[in-house]
Every structure is written in C-alpha cells, then in structure tokens.
Chain A
Amino acid sequence: MLRPALAVGLLASLAGLSPALAQDSGKPVLTVYTYESFVPDWGPGPKVEAAFEAECGCDLRFVGLEDGVAILNRLKLEGESTQADVALGLTAELVPEFKKTGLFAPSGVDLSPLAIPGGFSDDVFVPFDYSYLAFVYDTEVVKTPPASLDELVNGDPEQKIAIQDPRTSTPGLGFLLWMKAVYGDGAEEKWRTLSRRILTVTPGWSEAYGLFTKGEVPMVLSYTTSPAYHQIEEGTERYKAAAFSEGHYLQVELAGRLRTSKQPELAQRFLAFTLTPAFQKLIPTGNWALPATKPAEPLPPAFETLVQPAKPLAIDAETVATHREAWTAEWLRALGR
C-alpha cells in the first residue's frame, strides 16, 4: 500500500516544481511571450537572451506558448494585467486581432533596415523574420517535382501529399490563402481537384512532417527553408522544395511591445534589437527562417541553394480577417465535410 511518506514526498516534489519566485537580481526583468520552438537550447532563444543581456543590464525572460495564436489568446485572457512586456512570434494574418486587443503601443522602431520582399510598414509591429511556404519533396521518390501550383493541383493523384488543417494550424491557413491568392473565386474547384492527391490533412505541422520523413507521403506542405535543416544538421540533400512559377506565399513573423509594460524603454530597445545583426544572424540556423534585414555576413551556403521564389504572394491581413470564415467553409465543402 502507499505509505504516507511517499505521499508527503510527492507533495514536496510538486512544490519544488513550482517555479521558484524570481530571484531578485536587482536588474529589471523584461518578459517576452513567444512560441515554444523559440525557447529551447537549439532555438534562437538562449543566444538572444545572452546577447541582449550583455548590453541591456536587464534580465530577459521568455515565456514559451504553443504558437502565435496561443500568445494572442493568453493576452486576451490576461488583458491589462499581463506580465508581458513584449510579444514575439505572431504571423501577419493575426495583426488585426492583436491590434483589436488594444494592448499594444507603437514600436517607435526605424523599419528602414528591413529587406522583406514586397516591403512592409506598420507603426506597431516589427517583423523579425519571414519564410515562404513550399512543398518539400523526397528526391528518392519524386523524380519530376511540380513546377507550378497548377501542376501540383492537376498532378498524378497516385502521388500523395500531406497538408495541414487551416482550422488548427498556421501553415494550413497559409496554404488556404496561397490557393486563394492564385485562383481567387476558382479556388473551391481547384481544391476539389487537388483533394484526390491529398492523403491526409493533419492538425499541425509536426504530424504532416512526421508522415513525410517516415516515407508515408513523398511531398508535404512546409517551408522553402526546410531543406536547409536537413543539409546543415543531417548532411543530406535528399529533401528539396519545389519552386512554383505562380510564386510562394509569404509568412512574416512579427514582434510588438505591450502598452501596459512597466519598462517601456527597455521593451522598445528589445524591439530595436531584433533588427540588429546580433539578433538577425541567429535566425537562419536557429529559427530556420530568413532574416528580415539584409544580412551583415553571408548566409550559410545551404541557404544559397534554396528556392528563391519568383514572386512573394500575400493577402492583406484585413481582407483575411473579413473572409477567413467563408473561405474555411468553402475549403470544408470542397474537401467533403
């Protein structure tokens, strides 16, 4: 039987798990809400922290949430009482929602160093990196990859693809917008044609990419930068992204500072810091995305071999906000719900 000592031990261990109260180092604390893949050892988080703390005389803390949507929800739940000084990692589609919370202050950051395709301007949010959606394929199976979105849609139904659900994932929503940007009102019909090739629609990126690396599907919706990971970390050129002639959908990631922050100057300084070389050089191999400014030193050679889209595609965030529900319904109809 369970002994009382065991129960006491478990309770004690539980209390130990409860994060220790912030040790008072005397330095001001800057709290940054971000998505969780930014935070671990292999992500850019720890290096960003070291670099910024070296110059700010402050204590930078990350709070890792699932993704941009989770950051938004947490801020909605917390409202004015939020502990966050900065939110980092929302996608451009979410900007209207983030602004609607009324929690953000103008960034005051000079955006002139930006080198984002198609340009970018906003007085509240600062883009710190971007990436292009792309279909990544296995060169051992796919000998002639589609050269356009149209070839993908009308290709061999026996050669399967895995995509993500726009109701539950960011790349999934991105692909919905990509189809819309290319086909407009004809998108529903194209989805119907494409559906013959879709092996499955997963709730998030991890499931689809897992099916891909397990060899279950030869092609998966991901990013143009995915092959760089396999080249640099695994030393293999087996996986490549297909270049589409219509262009690729652009996903920009942004950061903003909270109006309610008790350290407005520090928060602003951190936003400005995201555009400096010290931060930007951590993006390519830390976040596997493209830096938002022109790199001070050349990117790793693997990045030179990546698909350079002919044309960035994007739908303005306000339009997305207005039509998302209708477009999702259209997608559901086309794919048989």
Chain B
Amino acid sequence: MFLSAADRRFRRGAALGALALVLAFLFAPFLILGTGTEGLSPALASLTDSYILGVIRFTLTQAILSTLLSLLFGVPFALALHRNRLPGHALLLKLLLLPQALPVLVGALGLVTVFGRNGVVADLMVWAGLPRPSIYGLPGILIAHVFFNMPLVTRMALGGLQAVPAESWKLAGQLALSPLATFRLVEALALRAVLPGAAALVFMLCFTSFTLVLVLGGGPAGTTLQVAIYQALRYDFAPGRALALALAQVALVALFLLPTILARAGGALGGFGLGAPERRFDPPAPLKRAADWLVLTLGLLFLLAPFAAIVWSGLQADLGRLVADPQFQRAALTSLAIAGSATVLGLALSLALVLSSGLSGRLGLVLRLVPALGLVVPSIVIGAGWFLALRLLGDVTRFAPFVAVLSNAMVILPYATRILAPEAEAAAVRTGRLASSLGLRGWARLRHVELAALRRPLALAASLGLATALGDLGSVALFGSQDFVTLPTLLLQRMGSYRSTDAEGLALLLGALCLGLIFLAERGFQERGAA
C-alpha cells in the first residue's frame, strides 16, 4: 500500500487496538454472565427444541425477504434520484437518514396511519369498492422493514454513485451510451462496491428486529430470536439460555455475512477524477425518463406518507410547552452528548480498522467480521454483563453514560466500516503511489491523503451514526439512573403513561434535532475540503 514502515506499524497497531476494544466490549459480557450460571451445555441443547427452531426459521425468512425487498426498491430509487436531480435533493438526502433516528414505535404508528386497517390506503380501497386489506403478518413486517431500510440502501447506493468520477459521466454522455450500457459500464460497477455492505447492514437490522416484528406480525407467529433472548434474560432470568441464544444469533448472522465480507470491491472505483462536481450527461431517453419518474413518485409517496403522518400528529402537541420543559432540555442535551461522543468514537475506531489495510489472511478476516457484528450482540446482554463488571467499581449509575457511548459506537461501527471501506480501498489505489513518492507520511499523509479522500463517505457515516445514536433506546436501561434520561427514553415514558400527544410532539422534535445534526455534520466535513 506504499506506506512507510513506521506508518505501517502505527496503522497496524491502531487497528489491533481498535479490534481489541471492540472484542472486549462486545464479548466480555458473555464471559462475565457465563461464569456462575447453570452452565451453557443444557442451554445449548435447548437450541434445537422445536420452538426455537421455528423462531430461527421465521427470523431468517423475514430477514432475507426484507433485505431482498429493500434492495429491490432501494436501488432503482437511488438510480432514478441520481439521474434526475429533484428540487430539494439535499434535504431529501437528509430525510432518508431519519428513519434510523425514529424510535421504532413512532415509525410503526406512522406506518399504521397509512397502511393500517383504518389507514389511508385501506380507506381508499374501500372507497373504490375493494375489500379492506389487513397488513398484519408477514406483509406488515416486510412493509415496515422496507420503510426503515430502503432509505439506507438508497443512501449507500447514492454514495457509491457519487464516488464515480465526474469524467466517467461526461464520457458516458459523449459516447451517447444507451441507458443499458451506462448501467452496465458505470452504474453497476459503482453499485457493486457498496451493495454487499448495504445488504449486510439491512440483514442485521432485520434479523434483530423486535418491536416491529411483534407489533405488525399480528401475534406470536412473528417471534424473532431477539425476542427469545429478551424473554430469556428479562422474564425468565436464565442467563445461560440467553447467552446460548445470543451466541446462536451471532453465529448465524456471521455465517450469512461472510459472503459480503469476502466480496471485496477491489479497485473497481479507482478511475481517474479531477474532483469536478459530478454532473450527468445522459442522452434523452423518454421511456427511461418516464420509468424514472414512476419510480420516484412511488418511492417518495411510500417514504414520505408515514413521515407526513408523524409530522402531522407531532404538530398537534403543544410544542412550545414541550421545548420549555426543563426535562426535555436536559434529555436533549444528554442525547446530544451521547450521540456526538459515540459518533466521534465510532468513526475513530472505523478509521483505525479501515485504514490498516495491511492485514490479510485470517487476521484480516477477523478484522472485517468482528466490527461488522456490532448490531447483532444483543444490547440487553451487553448491558447485563457490564453492569455486573462495573458493580465491583462502585455505584454503577455513574458509568451509565460511558456504557451508552461505547455501545452506540459499536452500533455505528458496522455502518461506518461498510461505508468507508470500499472508498478507502479505491482511494489507496488512486493516491497511494503518488503520496509515497511525495514522501508524505504520518499525520500529514493521513490528513492530506486519506482523510481528504474520505470526506464524503465520512460525512455520510457521521450522519448515519448521529441518527442511530440519537434513536438509541435503553442500552443502559438496566442501570436505571434517574439523572440519565435521553430523548427516546423520555418519549417512551410519556407513551407509557397515556401521554401520547406529548410523545408525538417529542418525536417531531427528535426528528428536527436529528436533521439539524446531520446538517452540521455535512457542513463540518465540507468546509475543510472546500478551503
């Protein structure tokens, strides 16, 4: 990779350090909870009972279908968005990240307003003389998962398309490539670099989905492995069983992720570019244009209708009173501090892992696989394990903010590494030789070569990180500290004591805060680049 020996040593050290931290944080709870329990072997044996097998089968089915559908809808939507720049494009890109920040319950109620039994769609169908549809069951789960994850696919696919040098689009225009040829020669190559990562993320998110699956699944037929883990640790307090189930979850997901880990982008993106602002020069093709507009209209309707429902019900709340409430202000500051710190830490860890690039073989595989699993180790297991460990150091509530930051950073890792890795590789191919021939090394090289090349993906990773960390719920629920309340916790507290109007207002405020943060993050990463 054309690095000086000192740089290589330093980067390898940073990567191994990051890996050690991730491993320790995610897997130490297994050891801590595992000691002193009834032993793992009876629990492991129970994994093969018919109830658990049924749960696993269902979890896999819905996760695979959800992932395929999210890709099926997300990719054409991204292509259409990229070809036709809509007014408000920049705002739309930010809106696409919002579902990550929304507490699932808020999203589910927004979806129900549109697609539910008494929702807009059902009313329209009845008005048209059709029977009233019911989405509860697998259709409801799939609709909800596509709503939450298709925007993620779209954003990552757009990120891939944006990495294509402006010169390629110009060339495609000059050669008057047909839509199909443009897709095959330019777009597909760009997508190939980012889609395995996007698919892996969506798969993990759907595999571990809990509230959505139960609420829209219509009954216990929609039970995921995550529900069983939660039940084992919370309601039956059988740590052995919970650990066995959690291990099964990690192993299953790792098995399914392996192909996406092995599918390396290579240097596919390493075209020459002078950093000109991208602009497309597709020749006019009326048929394609019509198809694009159809995709855009349907996609926007599907995504924005539940948002509109959420905004509408949020506006019914007394927002002025909510904002003036000191509880809200405290929770907002807490959320900001946690989300900000977790994002900084998550990005730093991801960069350390992604920029090491010298590690190959088995160690390299571990390096790529472990951080990718941050979403799959159940937060209830992490919470319980660290609670036990930190108890030895005194009052646990003091540690709640730190555990929250770390566990959120672990959740950000899979997003960030998936976004940064392909572009880091492409950038290394593009600039590595030049940088070393200029004798750049150490911090100067990191700053002027790698970080400069990763500006755009870093902005996306930071935005996604902020959104997911803002929406995080209860990684420290067990710590039960009265002085540590985040916005989503406050929202659910209101929801749990009849105050749903207040909760809807809080959801709107949370969304606004998230948009504001994303705006700042993107500005922050742009400024230096433009200067």
Contact = CB atoms under 8 A, between A and B. Distances in A.
Given A1-B451, A63-B480, A226-B498, A337 B54 contact: yes
8 contacts: A10-B337, A18-B401, A19-B397, A200-B217, A207-B105, A288-B497, A329-B51, A335-B220
A269 interface: no
Contact of B117 (A199, A213, A335): A199
Given A17-B484, A200-B219, 10 more contacts: A40-B327, A43-B497, A64-B480, A64-B482, A73-B234, A160-B117, A200-B215, A201-B220, A206-B492, A337-B221
A200 B136 contact: yes
Interface residues on A, range: 35 or more
A73 B106 CA distance: 28
A206 B499 contact: no
Contacts of A69: 234-235
B387 A77 contact: yes
Interface string B226-262: 0100110111010000000000000000000000000
A215 B338 CA distance: 35
Interface of B: 51, 54, 105, 108-109, 112-113, 116-119, 134, 136, 210-211, 214-221, 223, 227, 230-231, 233-235, 237, 327, 333-334, 337-338, 340-341, 344, 347, 384, 387-388, 391, 395, 397-402, 405, 447, 451, 474, 477-478, 480-484, 492-493, 495-500, 524-525, 528
A112 interface: no
Interface string A316-337: 0000000000000101100111
Given A65-B478, A198-B219, A337-B54, A37 B231 contact: no
Given A14-B402, A201-B218, A214 B480 contact: no
B484 A42 contact: no
A134 B243 CA distance: 36
A185 interface: no
Nearest to B112: A216
Contacts of A21: 398
A201 B344 CA distance: 39
Interface in A15-47: 16-19, 21, 33, 36-37, 39-43
A6 B371 CA distance: 25
Contact of A14 (B116, B327, B341, B480): B341
B337 A19 contact: no
Contacts of A18: 398-402
A221 to B, nearest CB: 14
Given A11-B341, A19-B398, A42 B499 contact: yes
Interface core residue of A64, A200, A329 (most chain B CB under 10 Å): A200
A168 B230 contact: yes
